[in-house]
Chain A
């Protein structure tokens, strides 16, 4: 069990550029989540996948944001036309959904985005 893996760990981009983050969940975890965290705040829910199906999206996820999990394993989060307000840590998490600890959500190390 290697844990939730995210790439890249840090990204600096110019305003208006597109960025993509990748997440590899814990092996055999069918539930995958994306959260965003800014300084001094707790993580905020962005979206949730069960296998390849995206079952919920937050209103925080504007039209510039899109997430996919095409084969039900890794996921990508793309931000188009980045804005300075998108600067944050983007956290991926996963859970197994299987008893007895299926609801426990494990986070990856996060991807820091700085938009300049």
Chain B
């Protein structure tokens, strides 16, 4: 089975930096995804890490350590519109495709 843990809620200040952690236990690991989800909307793809290390994409970066079963999403220069749920998802190979197992999400609130 797969077990994914991430904090339920976080609060940060506009303009600041926030790090959202995700730990996982899984077999057949095929990568880790981060998605952003605003209330009532579908998840939007942010990043995909399959190898160890840091992937940077503008204000967002994602890090993966496969040996530790650990990832984080780093958001810089926070804006009010970054208030959303951030979902960590572990990918496992299935029948030629990849199946995602999601954590429950971290609700980020950005304040003035």
Contact = CB atoms under 8 A, between A and B. Distances in A.
Contacts of B44: 107
Interface residues of B, number: 26
Interface in A13-48: 31, 33, 35, 40-45, 48
Prevailing SS type, chain B contact patch: strand
Given A55-B94, A97-B96, A91 B101 contact: no
Contacts of B87: 42-43
Interface centre among B42, B43, B94, B99 (most CB of A within 10 A): B42
Contact of A43 (B41, B98, B100): B100
B51 to A, nearest CB: 13
B104 A40 contact: yes
Given A42-B87, A42-B102, A104 B48 contact: yes
Interface of A: 31, 33, 35, 40-45, 48, 50, 55-56, 89, 91, 95, 97, 101, 103-110
